[in-house]
Structure 1
């Protein structure tokens, strides 16, 4: 079982200090969120809260997750980073391949790309990308990214993207893992078909178990049941040693946690308080010094 630290809505000047403390404590990874901008009025509901509202305000701090990974990677040497998740649909895959390859190289292959489509029409349209047919376009984007990141001279002639032979150097010396987000069946199919893992938004255990079962079935269907596959989750109702054991038994491989929240600290709490929470959590649940 791996434990990853989620850093959504963390002040930017704390990111390097959190990464260093998490590495020292034995956490596996840092999960990096993505938010392009805050539109004053949203035209569709946010899909991961009961009432469709956003959990942040116009002043909530965000940073581009690829830039954050590079900065945090420079402050550490072993801990890994992955986006959780990058809103792929509003981006250009050729430009993104350059950015992902750069981060993978600068962190010595400590970077994984967690991808989702994106939920807000404004994020697509205001970035010059149509909201319509976003799922099909994202499928092709993943193909383009994997093709370019694989190295060498490549070309692609698809429905949405078309380019002649090009090469981006240096290519990552190891394949960048792709983790696919989303709770719909089409998202689960995408994860099972092309992903190295599936990554969740906030989810309850009773909803998580059938998702994992469905992923197993789909991976069998696509002939991928023998390949390594991560299950990364933010489970909102299983905590402590018994809760984490239940998650592991269900098939979760990576639990995303925010230890300072467990200690009653907010997102804007001082860095030192968050570092102490990381140490306390690691002592209890990573190093097994306390079975409470």
Structure 2
């Protein structure tokens, strides 16, 4: 099983050094979060906390994940990066194809595209995208981005997006993997149908086991059971060697961890302490 470092809510000036240290320690990837802005009043519950509140405030630092991948990729050579997850619904797929292709080329095909819909109506509406029919639009967005990233002259004529023949060069020299997020059955169907993997928000082990079983059923239904598939998780109740062994046995291929939180170091803690936490975790679990 691989280990990925989650860098959500960390000061931006620490990110390149954390990426370098994670690479030196043998971590597989960096998971890049996405948050467009903090709205003072939220009209919908955040879906991954018991009371619907957000785990951050207006002063919490965020960085565009594609820019972060390029910046951290420039100071590393082996470690990979993936968005976890980028909210597609509030964005334009043609522009995103340009950005994703650029990042993949600049950092040597070390980029994976983790995608979700987005939970906040404000992020859609204030960025000029409708909240209605968001799931169907995201399905088309994934088709559009994959089509353009495949290279060559392409066109698309769908319900929501329509363009005549165009080409973006250079195309990535290897396919960019798509990891699909979401815990609902609709999201799991999308992940099984079009994804190269599924990526979780915070989840408990028993729920995770059920999701993995459902994904296996759905991948069989879509005739994709024999294809390689990643299961990336943020499991909140399995830790340590025994816990990680349980996750691997359950079918998890990639565990996202934040070692400095395990050591009681806050997100705004000093860089050197976080680097030491990365080294300590690697000594214990990566070898």
Please give the range of the TM-score, normalised by the shorter of the 2 chains: over 0.9
Q: What does residue 243 of structure 1 align with? A: 243
Alignment of 1:32-47 (within 5 A): 32-47=32-47
After superposition, give the CA deviation of every residue in 1:8-66 in whole Å (9 maximum; x if it has no partner). Answer: 00000000000000000000000000000000000010000000000000000000000
Whole-angstrom distance in 1 between the partners of 2:241 and 2:104: 33
Post-superposition Cα deviations, 1:153-179, rounded to whole Å, max 9, x if no partner, equal: 000000000000000000000000000
- What's the secondary structure of 2:3's corresponding residue? strand
Equivalence map 1:78-157=2 (5 Å): 78-157=78-157
1:162 aligned partner: 162
Map residues 14-29 of structure 1 onto 2, 5 A cutoff: 14-29=14-29
Q: What SS class does the counterpart of residue 95 from structure 2 fall into? A: helix
Provide TM-score, normalisation by structure 1.
0.98
Summarize the alignment of residues 125-274 of structure 1 with structure 2, pairs less than 5 Å apart.
Answer: 125-274=125-274
Query: Tell me, what secondary structure is at the counterpart of 1:273?
Result: helix
RMSD over aligned Cα atoms = 0.3
Q: Where does the alignment leave 5 or more consecutive residues of structure 2 unmatched?
A: none
SS at match of 2:89: helix
Matched, 1:282 2:285: no
2:7 matched to which residue of 1? 7
Partner SS, residue 264 of structure 1: coil
User: What is the CA–CA distance in structure 2 between the aligned matches of 1:166 and 1:271, rounded to whole Å?
Assistant: 45
SS at structure 2 position matched to 1:180 = strand
Deviation at 1:131, TM superposition (A): 0.1
| TM-score scaled by length of structure 2 | 1.00
Task: Provide structure 1 residue ranges, at least 5 long, that are not aligned to the other structure.
Answer: 288-292
Counterpart Cα distance in 2 of 1:19 and 1:159: 40
Number of positions where the alignment pairs a residue of Structure 1 with one of Structure 2: 287
1:87-130 CA-partner distances (Å, limit 9, x unpaired): 00000000000000000000100000000000000000000000
**How much has 1:237 moved relative to structure 2?**
0.3
